[in-house]
Amino acid sequence: MSNRPRVRFAPSPTGSLHIGGARTALFNWLYARHHGGTFVLRIEDTDKERSTPENTQAILEALRWLGLDWDEGPEVGGPYGPYFQSQRMERYREVIEKLLAEGKAYRCYCTPEELERKRAQAQAEKRQYRYDRTCRDREDQPDLPYTVRLKVPLEGTIAFEDRVYGRIEVSCEALQDWIIARSDGTPVYNFVVVLDDIDMKIDLVMRGEDGLNNTPTQLTLYQALGVEPPAFAHLPFILGPDRSKLSKRHAPVSVLHYRDQGFLPDAMVNFLARIGWSYGDQEVFTREELIEKFSIENIGKTAGVFPADKLVWLNFERIRAMDPARLAERVKPFVEKAGLPLPPDDRLAWICRLQQDRAKTLVELVEISRYFFTRTPIDPKAGQKFLTGPSRELLLEARAAIEAASDVSEATMKPALEGLAAKHGVGLGKIAQPLRVALTGGTASPGIYDVIEFFGREECLRRIDEALAQFSVDSGGELA
Ligand code: GLU
């Protein structure tokens, strides 16, 4: 393999990018970045019925969100394009003709009915069906429809060293002269994949475990074309908690779903990397660390179970550790989506700083911060408890302290409010809680001095006055 390896991710756009595909993409990307190689993105859209441009766009969007940039492929182009299989039909046809001309492939005139009969017979005799090569040495029949089959060696073995699974060997007898082009002339999947990997000079094919069964068949084509095959590494499936292949039944599998739920791409990348790959018992990795530490040797042979709660934990940790200004950039779209007014950047970063150790997702961060963006209704129970009766008296005094203070920084407010508490012989909570309810509408928020400072004197006074006006003096509150 060259020391600047070329790898590829080759999704079929029959749906959006799912967790398993994203992990395959990530491992290829990490491999390319680790070795200073090239990450190629190829869209395998030969299944015309199920492939849509919308799905392609959704896949590109998910890859971009994950930060898995491709060096060659859709939108960026490259020397071996086009990178859409549907645009490479001419090339496939040309190679099929060449294989026919060289006698490495042949036209098969067997009708579907004949083949079905033979298959049924094999089944009745409890034999595994293999095409019996009736047409391998048959004369050309100019007027009959035909498929094109590859001449697979009659004996010997096809073997390869999978970089994850080790040596895999299949006897040629177990293979058959497979169809490379259907009767309408269209090439089959195993054919186009090989051609693309050859034309795009791929050195290592890293793909899902489901590709393992196809590999011996694909190798017969490399052989027929006289081309040295790439290396292969197959990735064990990701499993659900019941140890069956991860599917929608277990958890949402679309990558964009996680974006929309407020997960950070770095958390997702960290999470995906750890499914089936390990580095000692390290769990938390930056992107740079993953690039540095990634190696195929550390991919496990046994499938990884999808640890959904680990994603939540990683996201929580990542949100906490993020620079508030950068976090604010990520949070912005969620503020807009929640229909809340977007504050100036520095104010948004301030909110993030106050809340970043309380939220598991960006959606949650915005949800618990609504009162910072706008006035929110006061929780009636909290209002009843803290804005009436004796609590109200303390709130009025706290209001006066805010009004009279030279500024509303913690350095000024702390002695003022503590002095008030001492004067009444109560704990600071008895002052802070009514203030909190008046300022935020509820009983949970960041520290009271942070809240006061964020709003500033005027807004504090306005919120307190409004709150007091909403709850009457003697509606039965108590000094809780
Ligand atoms: N297009 C195939 C898929 O989406 C990938 C096959 C391959 O990587 O060779 O499953």
pLDDT tens column, 88-107: 999 999 999 999 999 999 99
Q: Is 12's C-beta closer than 6 angstroms to any atom of ligand 1?
A: yes
Residue pair 268/66 in contact by the 8 Å Cβ criterion:
yes
pLDDT for residue 95: 98
Ligand 1 mean position, distance from CA 236 (Å): 14
Q: Is 211's C-beta closer than 6 angstroms to any atom of ligand 1?
A: yes
Whether residue 99 sits in one domain with residue 79: no
User: What is the Cα–Cα distance from 106 to 279, expressed in whole angstroms?
Assistant: 49
329 located within any domain: yes
Q: Where are the alpha helices (DSSP H) in 294-441?
A: 308-321, 324-337, 345-355, 362-367, 370-373, 380-386, 389-404, 410-424, 429-440
Whether residue 272 sits in one domain with residue 197: no
Ligand 1 mean position, distance from CA 346 (Å): 45
Q: Please report the atom of ligand 1 found closest to the CA of residue 193.
A: 9
Ligand 1 pocket check: which of 83, 193, 194, 221 to mutate, most ligand atoms within 8 Å of Cβ? 193
Ligand 1 pocket check: which of 19, 44, 47, 190 to mutate, most ligand atoms within 8 Å of Cβ? 44
The list of the chain residues with pLDDT below 50 reads 476-480
Whether residue 231 sits in one domain with residue 93: yes
Q: Please report the atom of ligand 1 found closest to the CA of residue 210.
A: 10
318 located within any domain: no
Helix (H) or strand (E) holding 40: strand 38-41
User: Which tokens sit at 6?
Assistant: 């070329």
315 located within any domain: no
Name the amino acid, one letter, at 186. Answer: T
Whether residue 156 sits in one domain with residue 102: yes
**Which of 193, 217, 235 finishes a domain?**
235
**Which of 333, 352, 371 finishes a domain?**
371
Q: Encode pLDDT of 279-337 as tens digits.
A: 999 999 999 999 999 999 999 998 788 888 999 999 999 999 999 999 999 999 999 99
Angstrom CA distances, 187 to 93, 214, 292, 467, stand at: 8, 15, 40, 72
pLDDT for residue 480: 38
Which residue's alpha carbon is at the smallest distance from atom 6 of ligand 1?
A: 10
264 located within any domain: yes
Ligand 1 mean position, distance from CA 11 (Å): 5
| Domain of residue 181, CATH code | 3.40.50.620
Residue pair 335/348 in contact by the 8 Å Cβ criterion:
yes
Active site residues: 248
Ligand 1 mean position, distance from CA 31 (Å): 17
Q: Please report the atom of ligand 1 found closest to the CA of residue 214.
A: 9
The structural domain count of the chain equals 4
Show the domain range for 426. Answer: 380-475
Whether residue 226 sits in one domain with residue 101: yes
313 located within any domain: no
Ligand 1 mean position, distance from CA 167 (Å): 21
Q: Is 207's C-beta closer than 6 angstroms to any atom of ligand 1?
A: yes
Indicate the DSSP class of residue 245: B
Whether residue 207 sits in one domain with residue 108: yes
Q: Please report the atom of ligand 1 found closest to the CA of residue 8.
A: 8
Residues sharing a CB contact under 8 Å with residue 241, sequence separation 6 or more, in sequence order:
250, 305, 306
1 located within any domain: no
Q: Is 10's C-beta closer than 6 angstroms to any atom of ligand 1?
A: yes
Whether residue 244 sits in one domain with residue 225: no
Whether residue 105 sits in one domain with residue 66: no
pLDDT for residue 260: 97
| Domain of residue 441, CATH code | 1.10.10.350
* Average pLDDT value over all residues in the chain: 95
Whether residue 224 sits in one domain with residue 99: yes
Whether residue 92 sits in one domain with residue 73: no
Whether residue 297 sits in one domain with residue 341: no
pLDDT for residue 478: 42
Whether residue 367 sits in one domain with residue 266: no
**Which of 209, 235, 261 finishes a domain?**
235
Quote the strand ranges of 80-230, DSSP E: 105-108, 147-150, 157-162, 166-171, 179-181, 204-208
Q: Encode pLDDT of 65-75 as tens digits.
A: 999 999 999 99
Residue 478, helix vs strand vs coil: coil
